[in-house]
Amino acid sequence: MLDKDALLQILSHLLLVHNFFQNTAFSINGVTWSLSVELQFYVLAFFIAPLIIRANLTFLIRGYLAILSGVLTYRFACWYWLSKTGAFDAAFIHLFSQVPALIDSFALGGLVCMLNLPRLNRAQTVLLVFLASSLLLATYFIYDENASRFWISLPMTVLFRSLVAAFAGVALSLAMSIRTSLLWRPMLELGKISYSIYIWHLIVLYLVQRYSPFKGIAAVLTIIAFTIVLAKLSYLLLEMPLMRWAHNAGRTL
């Protein structure tokens, strides 16, 4: 017999709106909540694309900074309200798993893509390396000081995710400007299956912890290996056929 909320669970996941509800957001493979956030961002991007497709660099940067300011304001407002009301962690997790709390990361990825940076000279490369290192250190220190009290820490809830996204954006820009075959090819291959890795890793983690005799570094290496193998298989057998079908259907339409 199905549970009383089985229909809600199934429909919310199929429609990718399960992040809207606390009892569905993390119920089926907890990491898939981000799929719904991603889809919702793409729907929003569909409507704003005409505004940015021919925009100049100044407009794009200002737009990103405006989005970042809005995200930080949203996070601070959520943190302040929930802290004052003595809410449980579940309430924090729910509000911080919505598009307004995460849209700056997507916007930064789009900005990096649209900038299409050329190869950098030595001074520019050094500057990007310094910036990436500074962001990484800031992220580390905030995490080291506040990880054990994640949701009651203002720097952690408001700044941490944006710092991680900023570091990733700068590191990606640096990698795109270097493009040496020794570095670029492995990154491209991992990039192709990166979301598959994200989807599979929690399942593999649970299975290895429960059924594997491995512990410590052996368990970590087993998880990494099986996750990459499953991600590559699902990329080849599921994602690529679906993308080819969508591409052909789009050309037909």
Tell me which residue has tokens 């997790």: 93
Neighbour count for residue 153 (Cβ, 10 Å) = 18
Closest CA to 173 of 113, 221, 122, 127: 113
Asked which of 24-33, 78-87, 114-123, 147-156 is least confident by mean pLDDT, the reply is 114-123
Neighbouring residues of 26: CB distance < 8 A, sequence distance ≥ 6: 33, 93
How far is the C-alpha of 8 from the C-alpha of 24, rounded, in Å?
A: 8
Task: Tell me the per-residue pLDDT of 34-69, one tens digit each, with 9 for 90 and over.
Answer: 889 989 998 988 888 888 888 888 888 898 999 999
Of residues 75 and 121, more confidence is placed in 75
State CA 216 to chain mean position distance.
27
Mean pLDDT on 206-232: 91
Token pair for residue 236? 């080849």
Tell me which residue has tokens 């407009």: 59
Q: How confident is the model at residue 1 (pLDDT cuts 50, 70, 90)?
A: very low
Neighbouring residues of 119: CB distance < 8 A, sequence distance ≥ 6: 177, 178, 179
For the chain, give every domain's residue range: 181-248
